[in-house]
Amino acid sequence: MKADEWNHAPESYDCPFCRFAGGSYDSLNASTDLVATTLHAFARVSPKWWPNNRGHVIVAPVEHFENLYALPSVVGHAVFDLTRAIAVAMRETYGCSGISTRQHNEPAGNQDVWHHHVHVFPRYPNDQLYTRHDEAAYVSTEERAPYSALLRAHLRLHS
């Protein structure tokens, strides 16, 4: 099988990450969510938060690739490098005790946005991240803004 045979997006899919990367904003994709961008990847504070893991970040390729199978190596390296930078910034600024990353492919792998991305979560003792999926909720642009500003400032100081 070829990587494109594992795609699941409908033909008319309106990709929220492509809209964000292209500068089209709304309440779930605010310009203030942007943390960092490189030639091949961007990082943004997610609009969807788990109860004890506020300010989690999504790192994605700028160009549309549905899943890991389709990702060119140079783009994969850029996504991973930015994921690492976000994890370090988060660990040093959020006061968390650790970091978890997650990446999903296809419906059986729990992928629900058809654009490759990596979640970077701040972790705290007993935060129950993996048992509270049903409690995740969308938060306002105003709630997200301080987290992206904190990470942007850290990255500027350490770049």
- Residue 48: phi and psi, rounded to 5, are -110, 120
Q: What is the token pair recorded at 11?
A: 């033909």
Count how many domains the chain has: 1
Report pLDDT digits (tens) over 39-79: 999 999 999 999 999 999 999 999 999 999 999 999 999 99
pLDDT at 159: 81
Distance from C-alpha of 135 to C-alpha of 59, rounded to nearest angstrom: 22
End-to-end distance of the chain based on CA atoms, in angstroms? 41
Task: Please tell me the predicted confidence (pLDDT) of residue 6.
Answer: 87
Helix-, strand-, coil-residue percentages of the chain, each rounded to 5 = 40, 20, 40
pLDDT at 31 over 60: yes
pLDDT computed for residue 3 by the predictor: 60
- C-beta of residue 115 within 8 angstroms of C-beta of residue 15: yes
Percent of the chain with pLDDT over 70: 97
Q: pLDDT class for 16, splitting at 50, 70, 90?
A: very high
- Asked if the model's pLDDT at residue 21 lies above 90, the reply is yes
pLDDT at residue 104, as a whole number: 96
DSSP codes of every residue in 70-83? G--HHHHHHHHHHH
The confidence score (pLDDT) of residue 106 equals 93
- Strand, helix or coil at 144? helix
* CA–CA separation, 99 and 82 (whole Å): 14
pLDDT band at 2 (very low <50, low <70, confident <90, very high): low
pLDDT digit string, tens, across residues 82-135: 999 999 999 999 999 999 999 999 999 999 999 999 999 999 999 999 999 899
What CATH number corresponds to the domain at position 135? 3.30.428.10
- Mean pLDDT, residues 19-26 taken together: 95
Decide: helix, strand or coil at residue 26: strand
Domain with 144, as residue range(s), is: 3-157
118 three-class SS: strand
